[in-house]
Amino acid sequence: MCGIVGYVGDQEALGVVMDGLRRLEYRGYDSAGVAILDGGLTVERRAGKLANLDKEVTAHPLTGTTGMGHTRWATHGAPTDRNAHPQTSCDGAVAVVHNGIIENFARLAADLEDRGHELASDTDTEVVAHLLEEQFTGDLAEAMRTVCRQLDGAFTLVALHRDAPGVVVGARRNSPLVVGAGDGEYFLASDVAAFIAHTRDAVELGQDQVVELRRDGYTVTDFAGGPVDVKAYHVDWDASAAEKSGYPYFMLKEIAEQPVAVASTLLGRFADNGNLMLDELRLDEDELRAVDKVFIVACGTAYHAGLIAKYAIEHWTRLPCEVEMASEFRYRDPVLDRATLVVVISQSGETMDTLMAVRHAREQAARVVAICNTNGSTIPRESDAVLYTRAGPEVGVAATKTFLTQITATYLLALYLAQVRGTMYGDEITDIVEQLQGAPALIQATLATVEPVRALARELAGAPAVLFLGRHVGYPVALEGALKLKELAYMHAEGFPAGELKHGPIALVEDGLPVVVVVPSPRGRNVLHGKMVSNIQEIRARGARTIVIAEDGDNDVTPYADSVIRVPQLPTLLAPLVTTVPLQVFACELALAKGHDVDQPRNLAKSVTVE
């Protein structure tokens, strides 16, 4: 949520900052603002889209080579001009932008007002500007360290002071912040996408650290002022990877990128002898053999990837596996110990609920493996091991290619556990690996045949609701299809296990209601396939409009389907890699038909960095 950009160098800061904010629009926001050091300190901010701010600063340009900007997703205070960031101090000397939540802001605000400060907004952020005003004696980094020691909660802060020219100071606790190191210029951002057009050299900031940027370099300390070691890394994608490449929307581009993304996730994971090599996993094989239970913890789309992974892990490793929503995990006091493997899934590596689950699991001595797309993010750093999905930047808020790569990564982890624990023969693993390696071509083949899905979506744009049904791994796919429709088209959509129809949901079926049915393969799981065909007949008899996703060659469904969407044949456990794709296209096209922005759905953020 929210986006932060800071800059010091020899370019005009306004252009750098505004360009960075545009690259962060995908994170979700409802207001935007900038602050530029131009001999004094000038702040402009506007509610609504970045275009509103752009119009103002185009009409009244701000000059200066040090500045910062922010796109805000409202938590405390409505999305208005006065609540937009940057927030300023009473004397206007300090400007602050902030991601996260300052939990003790009410008490701090009351204390400030008792000392004569006048607060002009409803935000928790403004208290930081006033506290910095009090603490500043010429060293903005020291003032920031002093203020941070007074704050509770999760926050990334970036500040400017009119009496500290050429200096940008940032701080982080439980919220992402990264440094970009250029030639005579330095950047701060909540995401490397903000400065990728200028440099691909980045520096991780750790928990409870403060950074001071100057044109000649940067200094990082902890909140007490002590020196810390930082880790530099090189971003392995460039600015073009975060551009639309001729597509009208990022989501369309990212759906099309899925064959390459899945291939990238698989790349380099296999030895010449067919064994899996998960070098980045960093867990000893003896530790994995000692595991007696697996938890998968995630939010949203990543949770659905975890539900699919459960089937694979239990089938291939014979380990019991539970899937938990990260927001509930630590509050229900799960039973964890050293023999528990906790697998956390997060595209950004900064999802706050998931990060808190990581910390809870490690406090209970469990081993934690992160599946993540973002190198250098917090969750992989705080986990015992990591498996990167390598999907490249995903700008569209609704997850597409990262979902398929998360599924792929969990398959790799499950097969590796089976290999280490000896629960599968080598030729069995090799057979599945070969099928996985062929999956990108099948995903590409699926994408080549989705034009009828687009036409169907446009036809159904006026439907008041859509139901999704699935069995086995088709059930999480149904949940994901429903979620995509909620996120993008703002319409009622629900996913159900098809076997539960008669236990209540069938009451929702009425004449003309579109029901999307994900049908399992008749090969190998024939009992499930037969039951699903019966489910289709049940809902069609009650007037439903049946839209059936079935593999090539499955003709049993044809008499009962109003529309059949064909996908290539894959074994049941691997089928989500192709059955998901038409549902992504369906939701995207239906939302476009309703006139919605599929890259930036209302009220949503790409990375949820608050609880």
Question: How far does Cα 456 stand from its chain's mean position?
Answer: 29
- SS3 for 540-583 is HHCCCEEEEEEECCCCCCHHHCCEEEEECCCCHHHCHHHHHHHH
CA distance 273 to 271: 5
Selected catalytic residue, list 2, 148, 372, 588: 2
- Residues near 292 by beta carbon (within 8 Å), at least 6 away in sequence: 319, 320, 339, 340
* Dihedral sign for Cα atoms in the order 448, 449, 450, 454: positive
For residue 322, what are its two tokens? Answer: 């539970």
- 3-state class percentages of the chain: helix first, strand second, coil last, to nearest 5: 40, 25, 35
Q: Which string of b and e fits 235-247 if b means at least 16 CB within 10 Å?
A: beeeeeebeeeee
What's the CA angle centered on 121, arms 1 and 164, to 5 degrees?
Answer: 80
- Residues near 541 by beta carbon (within 8 Å), at least 6 away in sequence: none
Burial of 609 (0-12, 13-18, 19+ CB in 10 A): buried
3 state SS of 163 = coil
Q: Are 550 and 525 contacting, i.e. CB atoms less than 8 angstroms apart?
A: no
Selected catalytic residue, list 253, 310, 484, 606: 606
Q: What are the counts of helices (DSSP H) followed by strands (DSSP E) for the chain?
A: 18, 24
Q: Are 288 and 420 contacting, i.e. CB atoms less than 8 angstroms apart?
A: yes
CA distance 167 to 288: 48
CA distance 440 to 446: 10
- SS3 for 91-144 is CCCEEEEEEEEECCHHHHHHHHHHCCCCCCCCCCCHHHHHHHHHHCCCCHHHHH
Is-catalytic flag, 502? no
Q: Are 44 and 13 contacting, i.e. CB atoms less than 8 angstroms apart?
A: no
Q: What is the dihedral of CA 339, 419, 262, 517, to 10 degrees?
A: -80
Question: Where is 166: in which H helix or E strand?
Answer: none
3 state SS of 543 = coil
CA distance 101 to 153: 6
For residue 39, what are its two tokens? Answer: 């001999």
94, β-bridge pairs: 161
220, β-bridge pairs: 211
> What does DSSP say about strands 340-346 and 87-88: parallel, antiparallel, or unpaired?
unpaired
CA distance 200 to 198: 7
Q: Are 609 and 99 contacting, i.e. CB atoms less than 8 angstroms apart?
A: yes
CA distance 222 to 109: 25
Is-catalytic flag, 244? no
What's the CA angle centered on 433, arms 390 and 296, to 5 degrees?
Answer: 60
For residue 208, what are its two tokens? Answer: 């409870």
Residues acting as catalytic residues? 2, 606
